[in-house]
Amino acid sequence: MTADRSDYPPIVLVILDGLGDRASDALEGQTPSEAAHTPVLDALTERGENGVLVPFGPGRATSSEVSHWSLFGFGPVAFTGRAALEALGAGQDPPAATPLFHLALRACEVRDGKLWLGARAHRGDDDADAAALFGSLDGRTVDGIAYRLLPLRTGECVLVAEGAPTHAVSDSDALFDTLHPWMRPQPLPEAPDPAQAARVAASLERWLLESRQRLVAHPVNQRRRREGRTVLDVAVTKWASWIDPAMPDFEARTGLRGGAVTDTALYRGFARLLGLQMTDRAYDAADPGGDMRARLALAGALLDSCEFVHVHIKATDEAGHSKNPAHKRDVIEAVDAGLAPLLTLCERAVVAVTGDHATPSVGPLLHSGDPTPFVIAGPGVRPDAVSAFGEQWMLGGALGRLAAGDVLPLLTGHANRPFFLGHRPGPYASVALPGRPDAMPPS
């Protein structure tokens, strides 16, 4: 007997990047989601169950990649790291079981005996100069570790540390460069072998200091200094990564055949690493609504072969980083119009809309741990009493506060595919009942 596919609806997870926010005086005490006119999301909210996503608990800010790792059901698995994802998403083939670091060229200023980071390289004007500067850093061996570069974008590479036994080393890139100077890479105390981590940190520190000397003396930077242009004379590392060749792919880990509609190197990297069927669409910043509608059309096509499809849009996050709450409100309104196909799709699929984290459009924070609206609708989903999309209303929804690791189990439960505790149909305790377990031969 074959199962009726309509009994097991597919899943579509729509991530409006950085959707969560804080209330502001500019919006009369509301967040952008609360202030926005969102008839589509309101209709979905009225049909569905609601809550807020707090990925790792109240107040805990997170990056997109760490949040998505858990949203994809990989929370218990050691995170590969963003440098690896960026390399994969740029079409590179970084080696497995080898430390990888994101490497960027920056300007700098020495103050109070510390080096503070400044401007980055700019695409177009700095392409040739950045390539020449990176060329002077490539292919050097320090303390038995061979360092080579994999190009990403203007002024960005992945640094491959061949022969290094661990990636358990802290960042040298300040990231929050108004708070922190260029930092020493240090061994992580949780490293399995602290002595090996200390060796790698010392080697990387020496490589970075020698690179700084090369960049300061390089003819390209001498010319840029004479021309009054930004001098890119320091290289910084972050996002230490390690690709585990034994890590399960998405289907093995979750039990679902997965797909993704991608828009940036990060999400293309996730698709390649996890084995998701990928459809890429260039991000259209000028028309967020049209971009969203086109992405949902691509997601619908993926549902012919996938049981789970991830759809991502960057527009809401970029609007948050503008530090203009009214602009983010307007972008959410534009995206809402593009979400209209979900009102039909949720009749045959389990559909969820949320963000991966909060990007405050007020205040100094990059990301914050504030709650993000979450709605799920689909066949068999019982509506709660919430009828408007926005943090303050959805806090009172039936789902309450969700962690990132709760999302995929919730979705698979509504798709009638929850993993049955006490039953082991394969080697992994997957998130959903596996759709294609390894079958015994008939004879």
Contact yes or no for 312/261 (Cβ under 8 A): yes
Residue 294: which CATH number? 3.40.720.10
Q: Which of 367, 361, 365 is nearest to 322 (CA)?
A: 361
Contact yes or no for 434/420 (Cβ under 8 A): no
Contact yes or no for 353/14 (Cβ under 8 A): yes
- The verdict on residue 429 lying in a domain is no
Q: Which two structure tokens, joined as six digits, stand for 180? A: 């922190």
Contact yes or no for 384/35 (Cβ under 8 A): no
Q: Domain boundary residue among 216, 241, 266?
A: 241
- The verdict on residue 93 lying in a domain is yes
Q: Domain boundary residue among 212, 241, 270?
A: 241
Q: Which of 246, 249, 252, 248 is nearest to 426 (CA)?
A: 252
The reply to whether 263 and 401 lie within a common domain is yes
pLDDT of residue 4: 62
Report the Cα–Cα distance between both ends of the chain, in Å, rounded.
19
Mean pLDDT, all residues of the chain: 96
Q: Averaged over 227-254, what is the pLDDT?
A: 97
The reply to whether 255 and 236 lie within a common domain is no
Whether the per-residue pLDDT at 23 is higher than 80: the answer is yes
The reply to whether 103 and 190 lie within a common domain is yes
Q: Averaged over 38-61, what is the pLDDT?
A: 97
- The verdict on residue 330 lying in a domain is yes
- The verdict on residue 42 lying in a domain is yes
The reply to whether 199 and 281 lie within a common domain is no
- The verdict on residue 104 lying in a domain is yes
Whether the per-residue pLDDT at 3 is higher than 60: the answer is no
pLDDT of residue 154: 97
pLDDT, one tens digit per residue, over 381-415 is: 999 999 999 999 999 999 999 999 999 999 999 99
Phi then psi for residue 260, to 5 deg, are -150, 140
Burial of 282 per CB tally in 10 Å (0-12, 13-18, 19+)? exposed
Containing structural domain, residue 122 = 88-241
Q: Which of 96, 101, 99 is nearest to 244 (CA)?
A: 96
Residue type, 295: R
DSSP annotation of 426? S
Whether the per-residue pLDDT at 2 is higher than 60: the answer is no
- The verdict on residue 438 lying in a domain is no
Burial of 380 per CB tally in 10 Å (0-12, 13-18, 19+)? exposed
CA distance to 13, 74, 349, 422, per residue, from 410 (Å): 11, 15, 14, 18
The reply to whether 406 and 377 lie within a common domain is yes
The reply to whether 213 and 115 lie within a common domain is yes
Whether the per-residue pLDDT at 315 is higher than 60: the answer is yes
The reply to whether 337 and 233 lie within a common domain is no
The reply to whether 229 and 119 lie within a common domain is yes
The reply to whether 60 and 93 lie within a common domain is no
Instruction: Count up the domains in the chain and report the number.
Output: 2
The reply to whether 323 and 409 lie within a common domain is yes
The reply to whether 237 and 252 lie within a common domain is no
The reply to whether 268 and 349 lie within a common domain is yes
Q: Domain boundary residue among 225, 241, 257?
A: 241
Task: Give pairs for 134-137: CB < 8 Å, separation 24+.
Answer: 134/105, 136/214, 136/215, 136/218, 137/211, 137/214, 137/215, 137/235
Contact yes or no for 63/367 (Cβ under 8 A): yes
Whether the per-residue pLDDT at 5 is higher than 70: the answer is no
pTM of the model: 0.95
The CA angle 65-159-154, to the nearest 5 degrees, is: 80
pLDDT band of 54, cuts 50, 70, 90: very high
Q: Which two structure tokens, joined as six digits, stand for 286? A: 């000028």
pLDDT band of 177, cuts 50, 70, 90: confident
pLDDT, one tens digit per residue, over 325-352 is: 999 999 999 999 999 999 999 999 999 9
DSSP annotation of 7? G
- The verdict on residue 361 lying in a domain is yes
Find the Cα–Cα–Cα–Cα dihedral 420, 425, 426, 428, rounded to 10°. Answer: 10
Q: Averaged over 166-183, what is the pLDDT?
A: 93
- The verdict on residue 440 lying in a domain is no
Whether the per-residue pLDDT at 1 is higher than 50: the answer is no
